[in-house]
Structure formats: C-alpha cells, structure tokens
Amino acid sequence: MDELDAVEILRRYWLDGAGTITSKEMVLASCPFCGKGDRIRLLPRQSQTGSPFPQDNYQIAWEMLAATERLPAICGFCLNVVTVGGGQAEMPGVK
C-alpha cells in the first residue's frame, strides 16, 4: 500500500459510510483541490462499527497518511482526501 492506495481506501470508506459516520469534526481550512473553506472534515482514526469496510485496511491507510501534526481529512464538496495540519489542508503526499 502506498499513499495513493491509502487515499483511495479512505475516500471509499467515506463514500460507503457518509450517511452513518458520526464523527464529522469540521476543520476551517481551504481545500487544496476545490478551494472551498468550510467542507473539510477529519476522518476518524478507526472505522465505525458496522461499516462494510475492512477495519484493518482502514486503520493502516489512516496511519499511513497521518503524521505528528498531520491528520487525514476529506473535503465533503469535491470528495478529495487531504491532510490537515497547522490550520491548513494539503494534498496527500506533499511533505
């Protein structure tokens, strides 16, 4: 699994579970893809119980994208996975 795989897993998880994910912490940061400033939501570290998605893969993907001051998130508008740190959202893979 590389970062692109991880991005895809997180995005699919969101699409599969968007209606049931309860942890939808908003982050005020501009999306690097579409520029919307109020649509970034942090992705939960662990997939929610009842998600059809394999728990292990989700957590591995989440940890791959996360770093000390970087958390995986998703733009609810354009549905691109981003990483959030220091109040800014960045494209994954940009270090």
- The binder of Zn ion chosen from 34, 45, 88, 93 (CB under 5 A): 34
Q: Is 75 exposed, middle or buried (0-12, 13-18, 19+ CB in 10 A)?
A: buried
Contact range with Zn ion by CB under 5 A, out of 21-29, 51-59, 69-77, 87-95? 69-77
Contact range with Zn ion by CB under 5 A, out of 8-16, 21-29, 47-55, 73-81? 73-81
> Which residue, 1 or 34, is less far from Zn ion as judged by CB?
34
Dihedral, CA of residue 64, residue 66, residue 61 and residue 9, to nearest 10: -130
The answer to whether 34 and 76 are in contact (CB under 8 A) is no
* Beta carbon of residue 81, minimum distance to Zn ion (angstroms, whole number): 10
